[in-house]
Amino acid sequence: METSWDDIRIAYQVAESGSLSRAGERLGMNHSTVLRHINRLEQQLGHKLFIRHQRGYRLTDAGQLLLEKMHPIVADMRRLQGTLSTLDASPSGTLRISTVSDFSPFFTPLLHAFRQEFPQIRVQIVATDDVLSLARGDVHVAIRMGAEPREPDLIARALLPVQMHYCAADSYIERHGLPHSMADINRHWWALPTGEKQRISGIRQLLEKLDPDQIAFQSNSFNDILSAVKEGMGIGPVGALQRLADSMSGLKQVEFGLSAEPSLMWFVYHKDMRRSARVQALQEFILQRLPEMQRRLA
């Protein structure tokens, strides 16, 4: 009997997610249906793919081989699906866009205007600090900050620079005063980001000189950091996007001799999507509104 592609596809999803229930949720199937496909595939192959245990499904050697070999196949299928969906002359369908959650207040009005111009396009935002794979087709477009993306086969268009400043609340200044130079930084409390955001220009240079014991608050979200700064927990970085979306009442910009280059915002997509009517419609829409975006961020 010929092995069913559906059985292989479902087994791959179980291998990726680690449990029948999570795989079923992603596939839109119930637990028993997923299990039936797994049992049939294992019987046809003559190999066990999974070892069942209380915390999920662990891969056997055969299951690990399936997972490794299926990764590029699934990526190719997603790219093929994306490419085929671009053959329509008019922009329509779902457009998946990844960006960090801090950008949502800035992009939501922009995407609302985009939808008014292209009502046949459904926008799906994936808000995450992780870099999702454009090659695998996880998303169609990524809005990224920082250095130019260098992954193979990606097309990156620089949009605009986004400047960051350090700020402190009036309540913090009343209690602790302000630093006037880099020599003063270890006499003050700070609210700073974690993870990849520590590599941003202006944050990296501060961390190189700062005693870690002076960091009073940390988060992977600039919105959280802004809230902490407004509460007077410490001095922290506030980007132009946060200043645009949130009231800066009660905050003062702090200058202490730290020179930081603005971060670039990038519009990124895979080369296979360059004929996509949806992707090109969004890119042209954003490029036309760059002057307005720059004025809002000034």
CA distance 275 to 269: 11
Q: How far is CA 162 from CA 117, 205, 258, 294, in A?
A: 26, 17, 16, 9
Proportion of the chain above pLDDT 70, given as a percent:
93
Range in 31-35, 79-83, 109-113, 282-286 the model is least confident about: 79-83
Say yes or no: domain 164-254 is CATH 3.40.50.300: no
List pLDDT tens digits, range 41-62: 888 888 888 887 767 778 888 8
Quick one: CA torsion of 227, 230, 235, 241, rounded to 10 degrees? 60
List pLDDT tens digits, range 122-169: 999 988 877 888 888 889 999 988 888 888 899 999 998 888 899 999
- Mean pLDDT for 206-221 is 95
- Mean pLDDT for 6-18 is 84
Query: CA nearest 295: which of 249, 244, 261?
Result: 244
- The DSSP line for 184-215 is GGGGS-EEEE-GGGGGSTTHHHHHHHS-GGGE
- The two domains 5-77 and 164-254 share their CATH topology (first three levels equal): no
Tell me, what's the pLDDT at 239?
80
- Mean pLDDT for 29-33 is 85
> For residues 190 and 29, which has the higher predicted lDDT (pLDDT)?
190
What are the b/e assignments for 107-124, b being 16+ CB within 10 Å?
A: beebbeebeeebeebebe
Tell me, what's the pLDDT at 29?
86
Give the predicted TM-score (pTM) of the model. Answer: 0.65
pLDDT above 70 for 34:
yes
Query: CA nearest 186: which of 161, 213, 164?
Result: 213
pLDDT above 70 for 245:
no
Q: Percentage helix, strand, coil, to 5, in the chain?
A: 50, 25, 30
Band of the pLDDT at 67, cuts 50, 70, 90?
A: confident
Q: φ and ψ at 239, to 5 degrees?
A: -85, 165
CA distance 204 to 57: 41
Band of the pLDDT at 284, cuts 50, 70, 90?
A: very high
- Find all residues with CB under 8 Å of 264, minimum gap 6, and list them: 145, 146, 147, 148, 158, 159, 160, 161, 162
> For residues 26 and 288, which has the higher predicted lDDT (pLDDT)?
288
- The DSSP line for 265-294 is EEEEEEGGGTT-HHHHHHHHHHHHTHHHHH
What stretches of the chain adopt beta strand conformation (E)?
50-53, 56-59, 93-99, 121-127, 141-145, 154-162, 164-169, 190-193, 215-219, 236-239, 251-254, 263-270
CATH class of 93-159+263-297: alpha beta
Band of the pLDDT at 107, cuts 50, 70, 90?
A: confident
Q: Are 242 and 164 in contact (CB under 8 A)?
A: no
pLDDT above 90 for 231:
yes
CA distance 75 to 73: 5
Say which DSSP state 129 is in: S
Position 13, amino acid: Q
CA distance 226 to 239: 9
Place of tokens 């998303």: 139
Q: Domain extents for the chain?
A: 5-77, 93-159+263-297, 164-254
Q: Residue 187 half-sphere exposure, CB side, CA atoms within 13 Å? A: 12
Q: Which CATH architecture has domain 5-77?
A: Orthogonal Bundle (1.10)
- Mean pLDDT for 195-214 is 91
pLDDT above 60 for 89:
no
Average pLDDT score over the chain: 86
Query: What Rg do the C-alpha atoms of the chain give, in angstroms?
Result: 24
